[in-house]
Chains A and B, each alone.
Chain A
């Protein structure tokens, strides 16, 4: 009986969306690590700032385009 009640309770929780209240586990990163991450991102990915040139490159290499619009500089202050 207890087992049935437990299953029923979980079913209700899922149905009502009560399990939505799932919060992200916040993690912090030191300034030094952030700097290392930015340097890595800039050196390992070949970034362009010319969209039209990028389209030509994508068509030549038969790849898709990954494009970031950002407030600030991707390698500087955001």
Chain B
């Protein structure tokens, strides 16, 4: 589990103050799935899977979003992304640059992450088949254009950075999570580890 990793805990406690809220039934974009209790077995999934079920925001002290990680991220990738968020946050603290320059730098940094990394660096950041179908029908930023060497659907982390690039320092209250979390279907059945299901040691009665 990512947030129980010692390195991640140390990073969070050093650079951030932390909070959470339950969005079940409160946000139209929130995912719908079966309840998974903390005593159930679990398994890791692809990066960003469950993007409608969890969104991890990194903000400036006055509540402006610099980065958002939707869904699952493993500890190593989370650590890297949280470090990147700290760099973005430092832009807000830098009083020597204008707002225009700050926003441009913000955009540059996210787009460099989106397009400058080696493909496959964020391991497993590929959509599953049903989500590919969803994004092809409901979004216009996942499918690459016909020009260029690389074809097909982008990795999810690339789209996350592209979407963040278009949302520089947006106050949390105004952050359009509904659009941002259009990464796949809303209803997702995850029953690994549940009583009587695969991954649970107890036999089904």
Contacts and interface: CB of A to CB of B under 8 A. Distances in A.
A75 B61 contact: no
Interface residues of B, number: 68
A17 B56 contact: no
Contacts of A38: 1, 4, 38
Interface in A4-23: 14-17, 19-23
Given A19-B119, A28-B42, A41-B1, A64 B60 contact: yes
B61 A49 contact: no
A64 to B, nearest CB: 5
B179 interface: no
B201 A23 contact: no
Interface residues on A, range: 35 or more
B38 A65 contact: no
Interface in A24-50: 24-32, 34-38, 40-41, 44-50
17 contacts: A22-B124, A34-B193, A35-B39, A47-B18, A48-B17, A48-B19, A49-B21, A50-B19, A54-B17, A57-B17, A63-B17, A64-B59, A64-B66, A65-B17, A71-B33, A72-B24, A77-B36
A69 B38 CA distance: 17
B35 interface: yes
A74 B23 CA distance: 11
A-side binding surface: helix, strand, loop or mixed? mixed
A69 B23 contact: yes
B95 to A, nearest CB: 14
A76 B56 CA distance: 17
Given A24-B46, A71-B54, A45 B18 contact: yes
A34 B38 contact: yes
A20 B86 CA distance: 28
Contacts of A61: 17
B41 to A, nearest CB: 5
A15 B200 CA distance: 42
